[in-house]
């Protein structure tokens, strides 16, 4: 039957029939260069503690962490973010400021073996405090200004250990400016700061708190992390961090906050980072394990959506898997 087309001039499917053409006209690209892999380092030797809520991820002792970095580099992943599980904790998190803290020693070991690996250190106190909050507790809540002192000392210590970038995740007011000043005064004016600028008080962090052993012992973090109902406030947070000296700004989590990523990218002319957090990762893995989804396909769709929203960089526990797919190994 020869039916007369109702729309002869515009047929959008013409650019979809061939994969070559689809690739040529694709509006969003995803590269291994966009990826950062988070890793968890713990005390001991030859220690590999599986994180049950995050399949495929482990707490690793420094020797195995160095080996893991080699595997990542072979996949093309050139950047990691380190989180530490210390031997001991204290009320203020000052153990994180020690010259031979767990992340400091891990950084030196990585750089000795893989100098080309770009090491980003998370700067926060929640893994290092006995109470699991992100700073010093006064009258039942985190004291903002006392916490700044510990955070700045931690950043300087990490810089001395050889990290390539610091990433404060605490959400204290004024911490970027305070940290920038401390780094500059210690001759680390070239050290970039990746600010967790719009970090929400989210339910998606559960598996991470298992991994980092950082769940708060009382209350929650709603007095310092952002309210999920707000996006205008995120722009204010980002603007303040940039004014204080942040070189990159982050939105965390990613999937439920794609609108915030989009707004930040369109409002500010700075690199935008999105953290595809543990809960987002674990939901994909759980659904895949039950044969409810094609895990790799959904993973790549998620990565593409985060890039499409405007993120230049994605921190994700999927990093090696994504790299292997991009490199044709999966």
Confidence (pLDDT) at 11: 85
**Burial (CB count <10 Å: 0-12, 13-18, 19+), residue 160:** middle
Looking at residue 252, the DSSP 8-state letter turns out to be E
CB 47 within 8 A of CB 58: no
Query: What CA dihedral angle connects 54, 68, 196 and 230, to 10 degrees?
Result: -20
Confidence of residue 220 (pLDDT cuts 50, 70, 90): confident
Segment 204-209 mean pLDDT: 89
- What is the C-alpha separation between 43 and 193, in angstroms, rounded? 27
- The helix/strand/coil state of 121 is strand
Confidence of residue 4 (pLDDT cuts 50, 70, 90): low
Half-sphere exposure (Cβ direction) of 177: Cα atoms closer than 13 Å: 11
Question: Does position 95 have pLDDT exceeding 60, yes or no?
Answer: yes
Confidence of residue 3 (pLDDT cuts 50, 70, 90): low
Segment 211-224 mean pLDDT: 79
Confidence (pLDDT) at 96: 92
Confidence (pLDDT) at 217: 76
Confidence (pLDDT) at 256: 97
**Is 252 an active-site residue?**
yes
Confidence (pLDDT) at 214: 76
Confidence (pLDDT) at 211: 83
Segment 85-108 mean pLDDT: 93
Which listed residue (78, 199, 285, 320) is catalytic? 199
For the chain, give the percent of residues with pLDDT over 70. Answer: 97
Confidence (pLDDT) at 218: 72
Angstrom distances, CA of residue 157 to CA of 81, 180, 182, 191: 16, 13, 11, 12
pTM comes to 0.94
Question: Does position 1 have pLDDT exceeding 60, yes or no?
Answer: no
Question: Does position 241 have pLDDT exceeding 60, yes or no?
Answer: yes
Question: Does position 6 have pLDDT exceeding 80, yes or no?
Answer: no
- What is the C-alpha separation between 172 and 191, in angstroms, rounded? 20
Question: Does position 152 have pLDDT exceeding 70, yes or no?
Answer: yes
Two tokens, residue 269:
């002319």
Give the tens place of pLDDT for each residue, 60-77.
Answer: 999 999 999 999 999 999
CB 21 within 8 A of CB 11: no
Give the tens place of pLDDT for each residue, 296-312.
Answer: 999 999 999 999 999 99
Where is pLDDT greater, at 51 or 9? 51
Segment 170-190 mean pLDDT: 97
Which listed residue (111, 252, 285, 320) is catalytic? 252
Give the tens place of pLDDT for each residue, 124-146.
Answer: 888 889 887 888 888 988 899 99
């Amino acid at each position: 039957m020869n039916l007369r087309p109702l729309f002869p001039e515009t047929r959008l499917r013409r650019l979809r029939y061939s994969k070559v053409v689809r690739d040529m006209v694709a509006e969003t690209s995803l590269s291994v260069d966009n990826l950062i892999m988070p890793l968890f380092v713990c005390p001991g030797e030859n220690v590999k503690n599986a994180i049950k809520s995050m399949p495929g991820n482990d707490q690793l002792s420094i020797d195995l962490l160095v080996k893991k970095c080699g595997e990542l580099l072979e996949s093309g992943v050139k950047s990691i973010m380190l989180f530490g599980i210390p031997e001991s904790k204290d009320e203020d998190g000052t153990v994180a400021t020690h010259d031979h803290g767990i992340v400091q020693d891990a950084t030196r070991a990585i750089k000795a073996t893989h100098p080309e690996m770009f090491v980003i250190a998370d700067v926060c106190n929640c893994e290092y405090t006995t109470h699991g909050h992100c700073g010093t507790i006064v009258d039942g809540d985190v004291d903002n200004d006392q916490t700044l002192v510990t955070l700045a000392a931690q950043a300087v210590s990490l810089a001395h250990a050889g990290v390539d970038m610091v990433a404060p995740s605490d959400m204290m007011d004024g911490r970027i400016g305070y940290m920038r000043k401390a780094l500059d005064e210690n001759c680390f004016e070239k050290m970039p700061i990746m600010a967790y600028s719009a970090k929400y008080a989210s339910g998606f962090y559960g598996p991470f708190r298992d991994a980092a052993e950082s769940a708060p012992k009382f209350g929650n973090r709603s007095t310092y992390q952002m309210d999920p109902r707000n996006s205008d406030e995120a722009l204010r947070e980002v603007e303040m961090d940039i004014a204080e000296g942040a070189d990159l700004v982050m939105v965390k989590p990613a999937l439920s906050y794609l609108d915030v990523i989009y707004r930040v990218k369109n409002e500010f002319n700075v690199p935008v980072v999105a953290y595809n957090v543990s809960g987002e990762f674990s939901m994909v893995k759980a659904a895949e394990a039950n044969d409810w989804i094609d895990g790799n396909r959904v993973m790549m769709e998620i990565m593409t959506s985060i890039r499409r929203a405007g993120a230049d960089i994605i921190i994700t526990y999927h990093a090696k898997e994504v790299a292997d797919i991009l490199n044709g190994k999966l």
